[in-house]
């Protein structure tokens, strides 16, 4: 019975890991890709704008 208790946690973690990878792969692309890309682009633009405004105020 010790082998079952030794193998169960790695097996459970492997199953959950495979599930997470499957979800990540399934959610890549598709109909929401353009919307997700737009959100990321807006966040990057906002961060760059904040960085540029802070360098202007430092000068």
Q: Bigger pLDDT: 16 or 35?
A: 16
pLDDT at 51 over 60: yes
Q: Which helix (H) or strand (E) holds 45?
A: helix 33-58
pLDDT at 55 over 80: no
Digit-coded pLDDT (tens) for 8-23: 999 999 999 999 999 9
Question: CA–CA separation, 37 vs 29, rounded Å?
Answer: 10
What is the CB neighbour count within 10 angstroms for residue 36?
13
pLDDT of residue 8: 92
pLDDT of residue 30: 74
Q: Which two tokens stand for residue 29?
A: 């692309």
């Amino acid at each position: 019975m010790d082998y079952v208790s030794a193998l169960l946690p790695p097996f459970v973690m492997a199953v959950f890991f495979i599930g997470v990878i499957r979800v990540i792969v399934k959610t890549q692309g598709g109909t929401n890709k353009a919307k997700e890309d737009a959100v990321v682009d807006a966040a990057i633009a906002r961060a760059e704008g904040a960085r540029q405004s802070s360098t202007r105020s430092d000068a």
